[in-house]
Amino acid sequence: MKQNNQHDKIKVAIVGGTGYTGVELIRLLSAHPHAEVVLLTSRSQKGTPVADIFPSLRGVTDLVYSDFDDTANSNSLAELTKCDVVYFATPHGVAMTQAQGLVDAGVKVIDLGADFRLQSLEAFEKWYKQPHVCPDLLKQAVYGMPEVNREALKSARVVGNPGCYPTTAILGLKPIIDAQNTSEQAIVNSHIVIDAKSGVSGAGRQAKLDLNYAETTDNFKAYGVTGHRHLPEIEQGVNELLASSVQHHIRFLPHLVPMIRGMFTTIHLTLTDFGKTQDLQAIYDKAYDDEPFIDVLPHGQLPDTRSVRASNRLRIAVYQDNERGEATSLVVHDNLVKGASGQAVQSMNVMFGFDEPCGLELVPVVP
């Protein structure tokens, strides 16, 4: 299973390759026909083969972690500029220190962290408690959700890869918002409750007591009750990105599920009188008919997270009850694939003109 070093492959670097999104990028890109990971960095693991940290990659890749020095004009930057695209699989605050240099060198940047997600500087600084170091670049950044921003991605130089929760929320609401925009009438009332549930891998590869197996298993809890950083991203997505004609008030509450991968987002809606005259199933079916990775389930069928495990699929069911004036959008994806690394590869495919499903045609692993 040696990698085929084809000359026509683009060169990919991954900064921060010891986390779950980093290793998932390697898994996905190892099967990509037009891209090859040539550089992988980690401060803590400099000089170590990635397969020593992740034995699952033995026989898949011989990559060795390089050091990464984020001071300006460092060698690290010089190495990165030899690549066609650099993924930042890092916490927020890292990508923004390097992005300008890379863009100036003609390298595309895809940040899986949060530096280029929020367009509002004020919101960024409020929620991430630090100043943004390249506000001009932020203005050019494209929110990396192909189903919403496909055209803009084609020429994007910097991409803010969406958060896992916002991906489910925005794609779970898009057909309704679009239909409202078209009809110029509200289908759902403005108050929306997004009750979301995530597997533990969403918290990252960390040595933390509250992620210890014995603390997490056979347990369920809410977190971020007073406000989660994905809330402003969902608000931005729904109200601005989808150009909602109604300003929606969103209550977003995440929960932690004792499972490794998978996200389930339940979106509780109430129908307007106009909404009761609409066929939501038909609206959703039509909205995503041509999307390679969005699967709208037929009437009466409900999603579960395992049906998308380890794949880039996002599945949605929509339920409508005119008598009670209620509707529910139920969305699942794998938080590490469509919710992170898979969506980043999907954006890369758009940015470089590859077929959008390249490297992402993974069949979900069931059971």
Q: Is 164 a catalytic residue?
A: yes
Nearest to a second copy of 212, 277 (CB atom): 212
Nearest to a second copy of 353, 367 (CB atom): 367
| Contacting a second copy within 18-77 (CB under 8 A) | 20, 23, 26-27, 30-31, 54-60
Separation in Å, CA 123 to CA 119, 142, 191, 226: 8, 17, 21, 16
Our finding on whether 232 is near a second copy (CB under 8 A) is no
Nearest to a second copy of 101, 359 (CB atom): 359
Provide DSSP, 46-86: TT-BHHHH-GGGTTT---BPBP---STT-HHHHHHTTSSEE
CB 341 to a second copy: min, Å: 12
CA distance 253 to 265: 10
| Contacting a second copy within 248-287 (CB under 8 A) | 249, 251, 253, 255, 257-262, 264, 266, 268, 270
186: its two tokens: 């509200």
Instruction: Identify whether the C-beta of residue 318 lies closer than 8 Å to the C-beta of residue 312.
Output: no
CB 336 to a second copy: min, Å: 8
Give me the count of residues in the chain. Answer: 367
Asked whether the bond before 303 is cis by omega within 30 degrees of 0, the reply is no
For a second copy, the binding residue among 297, 314, 340, 344 (CB under 8 A) is: 297
Stretch that binds a second copy, among 115-123, 133-141, 163-171, 204-212 (CB under 8 A): 204-212
Nearest to a second copy of 58, 82 (CB atom): 58
Separation in Å, CA 344 to CA 1, 14, 50, 302: 24, 12, 21, 27
Task: Please tell me the count of residues contacting a second copy according to CB under 8 A.
Answer: 88
x/- string (CB under 8 A) for a second copy, residues 83-122?
----------------------------------------
CA distance 66 to 340: 23
CB 87 to a second copy: min, Å: 17
Q: Which residues of 297-320 are buried (b: 16+ CB within 10 A; e: fewer)?
A: beeeeebebbbbbbbbbbbbbbeb
Our finding on whether 207 is near a second copy (CB under 8 A) is yes
| Contacting a second copy within 210-229 (CB under 8 A) | 211-223, 225-226
Our finding on whether 199 is near a second copy (CB under 8 A) is yes
> How many Cβ atoms are within 10 Å of 12's Cβ, its own excluded?
24
Catalytically active residues are 164
